[in-house]
Structure 1
Amino acid sequence: MENQNKPEKVSRRSFLQAGTVAAAGIFIVPRHVLGGKGYVAPSDKLNIAAIGAGGKGMYNLTQAYNNGSDNIVVLCDVDDRQAKEARQKWPKARYHKDYRLMLEKENKSIDAVIVSTPDHMHFPIAMAAMQAGKHVYVEKPLTHDIYEARMLTEAAKKYKVVTQMGNQGSSGDDTRNIETWIQQGLIGDVHTVHTWTNRPVWPQGVPTPKDKMPVPQGVDWDLWLGTAPFREYHEAYMPFRWRGWWDFGTGALGDMGCHIMDVPFRALKLGYPEAVECSVGAVYADFFKEADFSESCPPSSVIYLKFPARGTMPAVDFSWSDGGILPKRPIELKPDEKMGDQDGGMIFEGTKGKLTAGMWGRKPTLLPTSKMQEVTLPAAAKPMVEGGPEGHQQQWVKACKKGHGAYTSSPFEEAGPLTETILMGNLAVRSYNFRQPNADGKGYSYPGRKQLLWDGKNMKISNFDTANQFVKREYRQGWSLPG
């Protein structure tokens, strides 16, 4: 790692000379000791680059920077408007628009990269950074496609860098508590899980814009599109509304699934699902005919996943709902007691009871709620993270300094399989809405509206080949799949 202003490199000769001096009885006091309590030597700081510097990127940068405990040396964003605040806060950081040129020119000056771009660019950027030997922090969901998630999982093992996905709830105390309570059998064998969110809070189930708009000054629209198919610029896509468009985002499930589904995924040691099905909220237009807004994620959906038995753990029926759709309230919950929180929640059903919680597993509660005073709750088996969810980025920074093998809450080895499972839900949604002309030329049929059987090892739907187009997308001409 290097000083932000003047890189410091220790040659083999100087290292050996230092050892000789020590052997002679002359001891060199580390600079952090000379600097006093709280002083961090420049050589002990991580040099961080950010690709995507506005919005969530700005938050990630601030948490990683930690009031100067580490260096923000490079900023990269295709939108000067989004990067303005970060450039003002870190004026010495060099600025780029194209991450490829950034990695080429700044390779020797950075140790780690934070990726906070739209979903469709997570994989190519993260993979390029890992191939350059950089530690990576990638916002959730880890990738846009199932195939990409599998590739990043394997790349984390290959390149031996420290990784973290930005689902900060994985660093929360409640996540660790629920994992322990479930695995120690407080509610018996869990066979059913319900999860949900209040998202989307952005437009979904909307028609594709037909008009053209001028590209704003400071925006490189071609670079923003990146791997996605070309389309004309429109304010309907950026800076934040991209989440509701399949070419760029992964909808409500991709946005919130990594926060909410992560908790049961860990607690129940879930792997690949074996089947998925769904139902999707429809949009009507043109005199009550179902509209074909296939480029936009639906306004609401319900997804059902089936997981096989795992060791002594039984098979699990797992549901997800978004767009304001909630599961039925547990009978043990009193009429005035809250189910989850404003962002969403989860319910575990076991052979000996039930447990409910909000997003990130917030405020886990045994049902009926009176049990919370009757039962001795075991302490979390895993150590708590300093700062909880707010310490997620700093946990990664500190792990980067220790090197490969240092613990992070959501390394790609775990975040990858979780992301694959979440994206399986989107595969079902897109297959459900996939329509084809009938043989007689009259109207359309929806062959994807059935249960899809998933071969997780081979990343393939075995009973509806059309759905496999959503496992791995084709990149726009001029963009190649790294790895």
Structure 2
Amino acid sequence: MDKNRNQSGKSRRDFIKTGTAAAAGFMIVPRYVLGGVGYVPPSDKLVIAGIGVGGKGESDLRNFHDSGKATIAYLCDVDDRRAAGSVKRFPNAKYYKDFREMLDREHKHIDAVSVSTPDHNHAIHALPAMQLGKHVYVQKPLTHDIFEARALTAAAKKYKVVTQMGNQGASGDGVRIMREWFDAGLLGDVHTIYTWTDRPVWPQGIPWPAKRAEVPAELDWDRWLGTAPYKDYVDKLVPFNWRGWWDYGTGALGDMGCHIMEAPFSILGLQYVKDVQASVGTVYVDEFKRGYFPESCPPSSYAVLTFPKTAKTKGDVTIHWMDGGIQPQRPEELGANEVFGDGGNGILFIGTKGKMMAGCYAENPRLLPTSLTEQHRLPVKYERVPGSAEGHYAQWVEACIAGYGNKPVSAPFEISGPLTEALLMANLAIRGSDVRIDNRYPGRNLKLLWDNNNMKVTNFDEVNRFVKREYRKGWELPAV
């Protein structure tokens, strides 16, 4: 581990009570004492604590461990069933159910924290760790709310910790190949981008279940709810279908947008949204009556986001987002039997001189017509990340060991924070289009105008309550 890393920090309890820091030293064991060339001594390994260690969290920890430079020393999960795989894989790791207790007791021994919990708890898990000086890896989307994304972006800079969001396509070759084509001028001025996904693959546009269920003995339901309002437990919400409910998830945009919109952001240097509008698919409770289920994300949506000119564009850039099976018109240059994107997901860049497309994670990039792809195999300009998706994890581990500012990562919060904000801005328009007041839908067909400095929609105040939600008492996000 980096000799210069800050091992001092505040426990959550100390932070709340006194705001003072507790310092702790450690010893570096010389490499020659422990082994020969290529041996990684324990003192050079990143000590990681995982919060949310089942499902995606389990695979995250496995990838960190498989880098050969990390020790998975602490596990935290509110559901013993989901945690079982990681507990078995890392039998020497100490297990907790409350992340606050883990950070309070073990912060002197932890170098970094991986967060792979439902969206609504990402910020409450990541920010206290950052305030303790811990490097953090947070699954996508970075946060549930725009306010939280802005807070974590600021925290990364303030506390000087290495950060990475779990959108592994950012470390793939595809986005680098596309960036090389763009830099070579093959597309000219890019002004329009289409992005789409076949998600959701979980229920959306439905009423909250009327029947409560017994909480499984292995699940701490109160801690799972975390920041969200208290509700009785219902079947089939955990471990996956929470994505379709606004209290916990961020819909198809939150799930897939960070994978699919990352390429436009990194290639064009996009930052914050200027305005956004959206329309949503409707559902019916019977053949005559439209359903109104404001707690649930819609079954499909179409959003249009406008971004201001950047150093890499000549004017505003428009990104179209489509989910729920909606796809844009096939470009003329694409053959009738050629796959558009990857079939279910895709990215299409349109410039004044040409077009290029790719699938999810910016995989399989192609110029259009596709015959041009082989004609433009350019020299490598941007260094590739070894292992691509798996390398996304190893890259963060190595950057943490090197120390803040010494090694680059593909998705630091300075990039993934604004990217997440853009997706959540589109969700503001999606939620706004479905707002009903006095039996009307005043937000439908509006273009929401965004005041970025004040994080506020200026022309439809009804949606500003979603920019920063009310946290459940006792689960408030600490100030950065």
The alignment's TM-score, normalised by the length of structure 1, stands at 0.91
Could you list the per-position Cα deviations for residues 369-411 of structure 1 after superposition, in whole angstroms to 9, with x for gaps in the alignment? 121233x333343211111112111111111100001211100
SS of 1:386's equivalent? coil
1:445-456 superposed matches below 5 A: 445-456=441-452
RMSD: 1.7
The match for 2:386 is 386
SS in 1 for 2:108: helix
User: How many matched pairs?
Assistant: 456
Q: What is the CA–CA distance in structure 1 between the aligned matches of 2:422 and 2:266, rounded to whole Å?
A: 12
Question: Which residue does the alignment assign to 1:10?
Answer: 27
For residue 415 of structure 1, report the CA deviation from its aligned partner. Answer: 0.6
**Cross-structure match for 1:339:** 340
**Aligned AA (1:276):** V
SS at match of 1:289: coil
User: 1:281-360, aligned counterparts within 5 Å?
Assistant: 281-311=281-311, 313=313, 314-360=315-361
Q: Which residue of 2 aligns with 1:425?
A: 426
* Unaligned 5+ runs, structure 2: 3-23
Offset of residue 33 of structure 1: 7.5
SS at structure 1 position matched to 2:373: helix
Deviation at 1:480, TM superposition (A): 1.5
Shift in Å, 1:32: 5.2
Would you say the 8 A contact 2:279–2:444 is kept in 1? no
For 1:9, the aligned partner's letter is F
Distance 2:190 2:30 in 1: 52
Counterpart of 2:10? none
Which of residues 461, 466, 472 in structure 2 aligns to 1:476? Answer: 472
Say whether the 8 Å CA contact 1:45–1:69 is kept in structure 2: yes
Residue 449 of structure 1: how far off its partner (Å) = 3.1
Q: In 2 relative to 1, CA 213–372 (structure 1 residues): closer, same or farther, beyond 3 Å?
A: same
**Contact 1:448-1:464 at 8 Å conserved across structures:** no
Deviation at 1:177, TM superposition (A): 1.3
For 1:117 and 1:74, the matched residues in 2 are separated by 15
Q: Which amino acid aligns with 2:56?
A: K
Give the aligned partner of residue 258 of structure 1: 258
Q: Distance in 1 between matches of 2:32 and 2:115?
A: 30
Partner of residue 227, structure 2 = 227
Contact 1:448–1:467 (CA<8 Å) still a contact in 2? no
Whole-angstrom CA distance in 1 between matches of 2:252 and 2:100:
29
Which residue does 1:460 correspond to in 2? 456
SS in structure 2 opposite 1:285?
A: coil
- What letter matches 2:414 in structure 1? E
Matched residue type, 2:99: Y
Query: Does 2:406 match 1:409?
Result: no
Q: Which residue of 1 aligns with 2:370?
A: 369
In the alignment, is the contact (CA less than 8 A) between 1:168 and 1:389 conserved in 2?
yes
| Equivalent residues of 2:268, 2:312 under 8 A apart | no
CA distance in 1, matches of 2:69, 2:308: 45
Matches of 2:273 and 2:42, distance apart in 1: 47
Structure 1 unaligned spans of 5+: 12-28, 438-442
Secondary structure in structure 2 of the residue aligned to 1:444: coil
Query: In the alignment, what sits opposite 2:72?
Result: 72
**CA distance in 1 between partners of 2:446 and 2:117 (Å):** 34
Give, in angstroms, the shift of residue 347 of structure 1.
Answer: 0.5
Distance 2:117 2:224 in 1: 9
1:101-123 CA distances to partner (integer Å, 9 max, x unpaired)? 11001111111000000000000
Shift of 1:364: 1.0
Question: Following TM superposition, where does structure 1 have runs of at least 4 consecutive aligned residues deviating by more than 4 angstroms?
Answer: none
Supply the distance in 1 between the matched residues of 2:99 and 2:379 (Cα, whole angstroms): 44
Q: Partner of 1:472: helix, strand, or coil? A: coil
CA distance in 2, matches of 1:48, 1:353: 45
CA contact (8 A) 2:124 2:475 kept: no
**What residue number does 2:171 align with?**
171
With 46-55 and 452-461 compared, the bigger mean Cα shift is at 452-461
The AA in structure 2 aligned to 1:368 is: P
- Is the Cα contact below 8 Å between 1:209 and 1:236 reproduced in 2? no
Letter in 1 for 2:203: P
Amino acid at match of 1:330: P
Q: Please give the alpha-carbon distance, in whole angstroms, between the structure 1 residues aligned to 2:459 and 2:410.
A: 36
Percent identical residues: 56
- Measured against aligned partners, the alpha-carbon deviations of 1:243-294 in whole angstroms (never above 9, x if no partner) come to 1110000000000000000001111111212111111000011442110111
Alignment check: 8 A CA contact 1:173 1:388 kept: yes
Q: What is the one-letter code of the residue matched to 1:234?
A: V
What residue in structure 2 maps to residue 24 of structure 1? none
CA distance in 1, matches of 2:37, 2:193: 48
